[in-house]
Amino acid sequence: MSSPLIVLFRSDLRLADHPALAMAARSGRPVIPVFVFDTGNRHAMPGAAGRWWLHHSLQNLSAALERLGSRLILRRGNASRILPDLIRETGAGGVLASQSHEPRQRAVERLAASRGAALKLYAGNHLFEPGSVVTGAGGPYRIFTPFHKACLAAEPPARPIAAPDRLATPAAWPVSETLEAWGLRALDPDRAGGLGQTWQPGETGATARLETFLDSAAAAYDGARDMPARDGTSMLSPHLHFGEISARQVWDAAIHHPDAGSGGMAAFLRQLVWRDFACHLMHHFPDITHRPLRPEFEAFPWDHDESALRAWQRGTTGYPIVDAAMRQLWRTGWMHNRTRMVAASFLVKDLRLDWRLGAQWFLETLVDADAASNSCGWQWVAGCGTDAAPYFRVFNPALQARKFDPEGRYVRRWIPELAEVPNQYVAAPWTMTPGCREAMGLRLGQSYPNRIVDHAEARKRALAAFGRMTGQ
């Protein structure tokens, strides 16, 4: 029997449109599917919500492989050491994997290769591979709009490929650890219940989510995506992050859908390209996760207020739209995109806390905690990225609530304390008269918190700090 091939699964926990797996299957050689829970870099470990999702996604992948007569081998440890050990243990003739552009994964690849682990990498996790779309001068795009135009003018993404219908198996399987032993599902009961009610991790869940979105919400996406009380977004981000569905599959299904010509579908496809843009930036600027892309922001005078940070994390700032967003995040591991911007702006502008604190909290609590997209989003809001909103663009949380949640349905869903507050006050309950609050049973500072800052004053302080940094 010819030597087996190891297929290393990483952020591509699926069978369909998996070029590395397809190539291994076509070779006719025995295939050993492997997932390594990489503990080599503790700073890059997934947060609690991500670990919960990973458990269920690996469970789904393992079952899918078993239906092909195969199995998933699980190992935990430093991937750069485990891969050479597995090659020696199995006599594998090589390792096939999807190309990764996360700095830690690229470091693992280099170290593994230096130790004799022959890696063959395949594109497949992006529409346009990072580094493949460059300016006329050959450099990286730093602004999204010209990047988007260049992508649309480039060769279109390849059609997705089918999942293999069988995998040849080795004469002997290597030892596998058990998923349960990893303890990935450890969450507070209220969080685990919220995640379980909201999500169906795995390739099957990803496909169902895509079909539901395309058939029911995609055509109206351009308007509905800003309204957090509506089911107007795809909620595909965690499925894409874990690679349970590929961006090419999503793109292909969208452009061949009956609503492909709608403005909503065009807006949705633009968001898929934005995901590529974030990875493109991290490919060229690997420090994006912890250093501002605009270097002058290294000297920004951030405040240090632990109590304010805790209030933001717990959804007790006294600003309903912010608190609703943070409670949704804690309960479901996800937050609507509009409220992500509002909550992030509140942290870095109203509270003047370092954007990296917010980025780290999102990495801990989001099920779609993608390092590139998360960092780019926070730098955009903080005004320190290359494609940034100006720092002086400060979201007013009450105005944002009135505009995008005019009936208060989103706020009331996550803050039941405000259930009886009239629509005209639910965005800013402090504007009610004491008598009206008493009639509604609302006691600010007791049943619902007082505002921890005054937005108008906080905005002045933020702009003054920005002026000091720039010398204006």
pLDDT tens per residue, range 81-110: 888 889 999 999 999 999 987 655 555 555
Question: Domains along the chain?
Answer: 5-125 (3.40.50.620), 126-157+190-284 (1.25.40.80), 295-467 (1.10.579.10)
The string of DSSP letters for 251-269 reads HHHHHTSTTTTSHHHHHHH
CA atoms of 38 and 220, how far apart (whole Å): 40
User: In whole angstroms, what is the distance from residue 401 CA to residue 336 CA?
Assistant: 13
pLDDT digits (tens, 9 = 90+) for 123-179: 989 999 998 999 999 999 999 999 999 999 999 999 999 999 999 999 999 999 999
Radius of gyration of the chain (CA): 24
CA dist 377 → 59, 126, 275 (Å): 30, 18, 10
pLDDT tens digits for range 254-290? 999 999 999 999 999 999 999 999 999 999 999 999 9
What are residue 77's DSSP bridge partners?
A: 38
Asked whether residue 114 carries a pLDDT value surpassing 60, the answer given is no
Q: Is the dihedral of CA 132, 138, 141, 142 positive or negative?
A: positive
- CA nearest neighbour of 452 among 306, 334, 258: 306
pLDDT at residue 273 in the model: 97
89/346 Cα distance (integer angstroms): 53
Residue 77 has pLDDT above 90, yes or no: yes
Q: Is the pLDDT of residue 115 over 60?
A: no
Grouping H, G, I as helix, E, B as strand and the rest as coil, residue 31 is strand
**Where is pLDDT greater, at 386 or 330?**
330
pLDDT, position 263:
95
Instruction: State residue 429's pLDDT score.
Output: 96
Per the listing, tokens 């905690």 go with: 369
pLDDT of residue 455: 97
pLDDT, position 306: 97
How many residues in the chain?
A: 472
pLDDT above 80 (res 392):
no
Torsion 360-362-366-370 (CA) sign: negative
CA 129/CA 138 separation, integer angstroms: 15
pLDDT band at 356 (very low <50, low <70, confident <90, very high): very high
For the chain, the average pLDDT equals: 92
112 pLDDT above the threshold of 60: no
Strands 73-77 and 119-122: unpaired
pLDDT the model gives residue 303: 95
What is the average pLDDT across 437-444? 87
Portion of the chain with pLDDT greater than 90, in percent: 81
DSSP 8-class letter at 175: P
User: For position 141, what pLDDT does the model report?
Assistant: 94
Contact (CB, 8 A) for 163 and 16: yes
Q: What is residue 347's DSSP assignment? A: I
pLDDT at 239: 98
Dist. CA 179–CA 389, nearest whole Å: 43
Q: Which residues contact 416 (CB under 8 A, 6 or more apart)?
A: none
Residue 103 pLDDT: 57
What is the average per-residue pLDDT within 58-71? 97
What are the residue ranges of helices labelled H in 30-91? 48-67, 79-90
Residue 9: beta bridge partners?
35
Share above pLDDT 70 across residues of the chain, in percent, rounded to a whole number: 94
Return d(Cα 72, Cα 82) in angstroms, integer.
15
